Each structure stands twice: as structure tokens, then as C-alpha cells.
Amino acid sequence: MINLQITSDNIEVTQSMKALAESKLEKVVQRLKDVPEDLISIRVVLNKGEAEETFESKVEITVGGKVYFANNSAFSMESALVDAIEDILRQYNKVKSKNESENWQKGRELKVYSDAE
């Protein structure tokens, strides 16, 4: 079971807000399906924004010790949350593709060395 925490500093978190966050986070959970669930921790903070009639969404996801964080504001809570989740996915994809590239290069070097023998 993924550790999921949905809180707020300045408004009451309703069931509909929790349901919204959980439904939007499904995209992240699907992207992380190759990672064991006990290595994933998700924290979402939904707040009323500093400007009038705005909302702020902070999303922090820890995947195997690596922390991804995004903070977005918008006039609707849903768009603030979606933007933050998109930022997280962008960060995760960047790190994952970099790691895959490095692993491919290491494998290639090993193959070159083993062919030379």
C-alpha cells in the first residue's frame, strides 16, 4: 500500500478534495507501477492561496529515497493540483531517462570490454 497523506494548512480537507487528489494521483501511481509500493510515499498539501480566490497545491513524492517536489497556484484547486502533478511527472521522467541512458552506456562499455577479451 502506498503511503498517501492529503492535508491542508489553512482549510478543511473535505472528502471531495481527497477524492480529487486521489483521482489525479492515479496518473502518478500508474507511472510508478514498476517501483515497489512500500518505496513510494506521497504527500499533498492543498491550501487557500495568498492572492484572493486562488488555491495552492504542494505535492511531494518520495520514490526509493529520491524526493520530487512541486508547488503550484491557480484559480481552481483542480488546476493547481494537476499542474503540480505534471511538474512531478516531468521531474520523474527526466531522472528516469537519465538513469536509463547511464545504465545503457554502462552496459555498452561492459559489452565492449568483454568483446575485446
Q: Are strands 40-48 and 3-7 parallel, antiparallel or unpaired?
A: parallel
Span 51-108, pLDDT tens digits:
888 999 999 999 988 999 999 999 999 999 999 999 999 999 998 888 877 766 666 6
Class of domain 3-116 (CATH, top level): alpha beta
Span 12-43, pLDDT tens digits:
999 999 999 999 999 888 988 888 989 999 99
Distance (Å, rounded) from C-alpha 70 to C-alpha 62? Answer: 12
The confidence score (pLDDT) of residue 117 equals 55
* 12-15 CB contacts, 8 Å cutoff, 24+ apart: 13/46
The confidence score (pLDDT) of residue 101 equals 75
C-alpha cell at 58: 504542494
For the chain, the average pLDDT equals 87
